[in-house]
Chain A
């Protein structure tokens, strides 16, 4: 019985150690992959809302959940630009060095995306397609503005 207890304790410690091992930070590759996936998720959600509007439909659950995905993902994305994940890090990325040299502007642009997409999540539930269209454009404008300044091949 004690043997089992000890085994349990050891494996718990081992698991904890394994879990805390990435304290050194995930690799640049995995960060870049994660943020690419995140932006694709945002783009896909954006398209889902746009498609609803284009087809004249106002499927509220679809639009609300897509907008919430955008807002939630945007918050995660802001954390995925640590130093050392730029074009110099040997990873394939369209992120421009300006993100790190002009961090305050980049963070402000990121915050605009978070603010506008959060607002979109509220407006999406209104069923007012004109208001949703306007807010979708406002959100898209934050994408475009940031890409212009901080993304290669925009």
Chain B
């Protein structure tokens, strides 16, 4: 398989992911693991806190999808099915330098994961446990039966999310082993030598701070059940 090597003098370290995206990604990994563990332990106090933090992350990611760095924006990576198919076909042949950011398949994977995590939070805030004692912050807006149904949806979506994460990790392994393409390090330090340079990502730190503040405000409002 022909692989792209940067020519001499060409920038070997192209900016691929801005810092907020990387922090978002790894914080989400840690929090999902913690939510899983605390849920299994039935430590609902910590499970709720973890869920609020995940809610803040999801809101932040959506906002960042509009005002973030170039590769973080939905407009940059959400592509139609034709682009996705063309990308899959291109994987068979030799590949030239591609643009930094999500490929057309990865873009859909981002949306799927975001939707699943958002769905889990959405069901979780209304969920009621079997005893009727532990529940999400908005459970008093629904009946016991509806809260139990929300808990079932919460469980079901978690299984889908686990499947999506397994697919995500399998895809990373495929790129690493088959295409000799390291996707993990760029998510750590933000740079890659496998892309053509399209300039700085243009992520403004003050927009990140503002988006985070709005996300935390949203999560806090939900956590308090909209009671102030």
Complex Cα distance A43/B147, Å? 11
- A147 interface residue (CB < 8 Å to B): yes
Q: Which of B15-49 contact A (CB under 8 A)?
A: 42
Given A54-B225, A55-B227, A144-B42, CB of A40 within 8 Å of CB of B133: no
Asked if A50 and B227 sit within 8 Å, CB to CB, the answer is: no
A residues near B140, Cβ cutoff 8 Å: 47, 50-51, 54-55
Q: Which of A20-71 contact B (CB under 8 A)?
A: 39-40, 42-47, 50-51, 54-56
Please tell me the number of chain B residues within 8 Å of chain A, measured between CB atoms.
17
Please tell me the number of chain A residues within 8 Å of chain B, measured between CB atoms.
22
Binds A, one of B3-11, B76-84, B124-132: B124-132
Most chain A CB neighbours (cut-off 10 Å) among B130, B131, B133 = B131
Would you give the shortest CB distance from B224 to chain A, in whole angstroms? 10
- B108 interface residue (CB < 8 Å to A): no
- B135 interface residue (CB < 8 Å to A): yes
Q: Which of A97-148 contact B (CB under 8 A)?
A: 136-137, 139-140, 143-144, 147
A residues near B130, Cβ cutoff 8 Å: 39, 43, 143, 147, 151, 154
Chain B 51-81 near chain A by CB (<8 Å), digits 1 or 0: 0000000000000000000000000000000
Would you give the shortest CB distance from B42 to chain A, in whole angstroms? 7
- B158 interface residue (CB < 8 Å to A): no
Given A54-B225, A56-B227, CB of A44 within 8 Å of CB of B144: yes
Asked if B132 and A42 sit within 8 Å, CB to CB, the answer is: yes
- B198 interface residue (CB < 8 Å to A): no
Chain A 76-102 near chain B by CB (<8 Å), digits 1 or 0: 000000000000000000000000000
Given A44-B143, A44-B144, A144-B42, CB of A50 within 8 Å of CB of B132: yes
Q: Which of B138-196 contact A (CB under 8 A)?
A: 139-140, 143-145, 147-148
Chain B residues close to A by CB (< 8 Å) = 42, 128, 130-135, 139-140, 143-145, 147-148, 225, 227
| Shortest beta-carbon contacts, A-B, top 5 | A46-B132, A43-B132, A140-B133, A44-B144, A143-B131
12 interchain pairs (CB within 8 A)?
A39-B130, A44-B145, A46-B132, A50-B132, A50-B133, A54-B140, A54-B225, A140-B131, A143-B131, A144-B42, A144-B133, A147-B130
